[in-house]
Chains A and B, each alone.
Chain A
Amino acid sequence: MAETLYEIPDATELAVTLIDITRAVTAGAETIDIFTTLAEKCVSLLPVTAAGILLRDVTGTLQVIGASSPSAHLLDLFQVQNEEGPCLECSSTGEAVSDTDLSPTGRWPRFSSLARSHNFSAVYALPLRSRDLTIGALNLFAEQQLSPGRLLVAQALADAATLSLLQVDPQVDLQIVIRRIHVAVESRNAVEQAQGMIAQRFTIDAEQALVRLHEVSAQTALTLVEVALAVTSRDPDSPVARLLQP
């Protein structure tokens, strides 16, 4: 164990990340914000190019709640895993899944060729799990294999995501867990709808629109979801309306 921990040069940043997440959860931050931060941290703490956190909703669909980048290619890679791929397997079995071959004749040919086409050569799915309950997976895309020590860091970040969502004993209150996942999905949908409106308004793409929404969130001290709802409801009295005038 000492040997693998020794491989973690950025243990301080990991510790700071976990402390920040705990603070955000205690302060009542929205799941979508916490997961987005965690996905971004995966990319800064680990030698991975992209990361995403997926939750299984009540219908069994894997929903991306936080991604290290809102790129359409990445979203496709997450989405295709509702048909086949490491996240589907990981979230069904509760076990970590890795694929460092991404062979077109392997277990998930469609997913593999899509991942390859974006220059990824290794993919990892780590369970978001508490006891018998698996609520989703942390998905990592890399250009090289991860060492066992790095995977420990990744699992710690996945655990932080799980804890931030559960907050309660899942054996006692499954209904709260279901509700939180539902709210996270609907919040993300609302943010995406607002992204579309802003993309159209300023003739920019959806990624740039998300940056604009984040800027307005910082300027107004409203959460990202509150900004999104002010946009979609076209609330003329919200400070958001003035900041996002065409």
Chain B
Amino acid sequence: MPNQRLSFISDKIRESDASLSLVHRFCVVAAELLRAQSASIALVIDQAYSAIAASSPLGTLLEEQQFAFGDGPTYDSRESPIPIIVEDMTDRHSAQKWPAFAPVASKHDIRAVYAFPLRVGSAYLGVLTVYRVEHGEPTAQEYADGLILAALATNELVRQQAGIAAGDVLSSSEPGLSDQSTVQIAAGMVAEALNCSIVSALVRIRARAFADDKPVNDIARAIVARELILTK
């Protein structure tokens, strides 16, 4: 049962420009709700980076620079499920930690950067980053909104990887990936059997559910019960 905030955010996304891609609309809503100059979403699979969408060209630029340098909070987001909150890119700590990216952010008048990892357990798919002109930390509500949008984006990127066309906003908020124990166990089993990554296993399970027109959880249950074996 989704909470009010998730419904509120889903409504915001529905009200956004429908001519844009769904992931692009997530970025637009992220920028609005987190009072940011720009927001971007990257796909990072097997350490290969692809720019997916940004609310404005500045987001794309700042994201690309970080992956080009291998330096910056967005780049570092792969290491932990905890969002990276940088209150001030111009302070000494940031300059030392990200010597290549900090000056680029400052040059574009960006003071605060928040990077929300797109992650399911140990599986890292990418990152949602917001870039703010004002320095400081997000409010608790903004932090929660960032996590909700990251969860929606994670589900959508798995769908895309599984070759499923973008559906309604609701299809991204369907339960399935991060909520269900059975899905995680099944993903581990598939990853071991096929010697593939957990991300790839999640994508295969999602694709199979779509192909069979069944809930993800049903497919996962069958895998855990060893009634269904996914092959390469």
Indicate if B192 sits at the interface (CB-CB under 8 A): yes
Interface pair B189/A82, CB less than 8 Å apart = no
Q: Quick one: which of B4, B138, B189, B198 contacts A199, CB cutoff 8 A? A: B189
Indicate if B5 sits at the interface (CB-CB under 8 A): yes
Describe B's contact surface by its main secondary structure: helix
Query: Chain A residues with Cβ under 8 A from B143's Cβ?
Result: 175, 178-179
Indicate if B113 sits at the interface (CB-CB under 8 A): no
User: Could you tell me the distance between the alpha carbons of A196 and B147 in the complex, rounded to whole angstroms?
Assistant: 26
Interface pair A186/B187, CB less than 8 Å apart = no
Contacts A88-B1, A178-B140, A197-B191 given; does A189 touch B173 at CB 8 Å: no
Q: Interface readout for B117-161 with A: 1 if CB under 8 Å, 0 if not?
A: 001111100000000000001111001100110010000000000
Q: Interface readout for B180-208 with A: 1 if CB under 8 Å, 0 if not?
A: 11101111111111000010000000000
Interface residues on B, range: 35 or more
Q: Quick one: which of A82, A88, A189 contacts B184, CB cutoff 8 A? A: A189
Query: Chain B residues with Cβ under 8 A from A174's Cβ?
Result: 140
Q: Quick one: which of A79, A232, A233 contacts B181, CB cutoff 8 A? A: A79
Indicate if A12 sits at the interface (CB-CB under 8 A): no
User: Could you tell me the distance between the alpha carbons of A190 and B184 in the complex, rounded to whole angstroms?
Assistant: 8
Interface pair B198/A193, CB less than 8 Å apart = yes
Indicate if B83 sits at the interface (CB-CB under 8 A): yes
Interface contact tally, CB-CB below 8 A: 128
User: Could you tell me the distance between the alpha carbons of A106 and B66 in the complex, rounded to whole angstroms?
Assistant: 56
User: Could you tell me the distance between the alpha carbons of A232 and B123 in the complex, rounded to whole angstroms?
Assistant: 9
Q: Interface readout for A188-206 with B: 1 if CB under 8 Å, 0 if not?
A: 1111111111111100001
Indicate if B51 sits at the interface (CB-CB under 8 A): no
Of A58, A60, A64, A179, most B-chain CB atoms within 10 Å: A58
Query: A-side interface residues toward B, CB under 8 Å?
Result: 56, 58-61, 63-64, 72, 75, 79, 82-83, 88, 173-175, 178-179, 182-183, 185-201, 206, 228-229, 232-233
Contacts A58-B147, A178-B144 given; does A192 touch B2 at CB 8 Å: no
Which residues of chain B in 190-232 are interfacial with respect to chain A, using CB atoms and an 8 Å cutoff?
A: 190-193, 198, 224
Describe A's contact surface by its main secondary structure: helix
User: Could you tell me the distance between the alpha carbons of A186 and B79 in the complex, rounded to whole angstroms?
Assistant: 13
Of A75, A186, A189, A228, most B-chain CB atoms within 10 Å: A189
Top 3 nearest A-B pairs (CB, nearest first) are A196-B188, A60-B3, A189-B121
User: Could you tell me the distance between the alpha carbons of A114 and B182 in the complex, rounded to whole angstroms?
Assistant: 17
Interface pair B179/A63, CB less than 8 Å apart = yes
User: Could you tell me the distance between the alpha carbons of A75 and B198 in the complex, rounded to whole angstroms?
Assistant: 21
Indicate if B33 sits at the interface (CB-CB under 8 A): no
User: Could you tell me the distance between the alpha carbons of A63 and B181 in the complex, rounded to whole angstroms?
Assistant: 9
Query: Chain A residues with Cβ under 8 A from B5's Cβ?
Result: 58-60
Query: Chain B residues with Cβ under 8 A from A198's Cβ?
Result: 188, 192
Indicate if B164 sits at the interface (CB-CB under 8 A): no
Interface pair A196/B148, CB less than 8 Å apart = no
Contacts A192-B185, A193-B121 given; does A175 touch B192 at CB 8 Å: no
What is the distance, in angstroms, from B215's C-beta to the closest C-beta of chain A?
A: 12
Interface pair A193/B181, CB less than 8 Å apart = no
Query: Chain B residues with Cβ under 8 A from A229's Cβ?
Result: 122
Query: Chain A residues with Cβ under 8 A from B82's Cβ?
Result: 179, 182-183
Contacts A58-B148, A59-B151 given; does A64 touch B179 at CB 8 Å: no
Other than the given A175-B138, A200-B190, 9 more pairs (CB < 8 A) read A56-B3, A59-B173, A82-B175, A186-B120, A186-B121, A193-B121, A193-B123, A196-B185, A206-B185
User: Could you tell me the distance between the alpha carbons of A201 and B194 in the complex, rounded to whole angstroms?
Assistant: 11
Contacts A193-B185, A196-B186, A199-B189 given; does A232 touch B178 at CB 8 Å: no
Indicate if B81 sits at the interface (CB-CB under 8 A): yes
User: Could you tell me the distance between the alpha carbons of A58 and B173 in the complex, rounded to whole angstroms?
Assistant: 13
Query: Chain A residues with Cβ under 8 A from B6's Cβ?
Result: 59-60
Query: Chain A residues with Cβ under 8 A from B186's Cβ?
Result: 196
Interface pair B198/A183, CB less than 8 Å apart = no
User: Could you tell me the distance between the alpha carbons of A196 and B187 in the complex, rounded to whole angstroms?
Assistant: 7
Interface pair B188/A232, CB less than 8 Å apart = yes
Contacts A60-B6, A174-B140, A179-B83 given; does A200 touch B121 at CB 8 Å: no
Interface pair A196/B184, CB less than 8 Å apart = yes
Contacts A59-B151, A232-B122 given; does A182 touch B185 at CB 8 Å: no
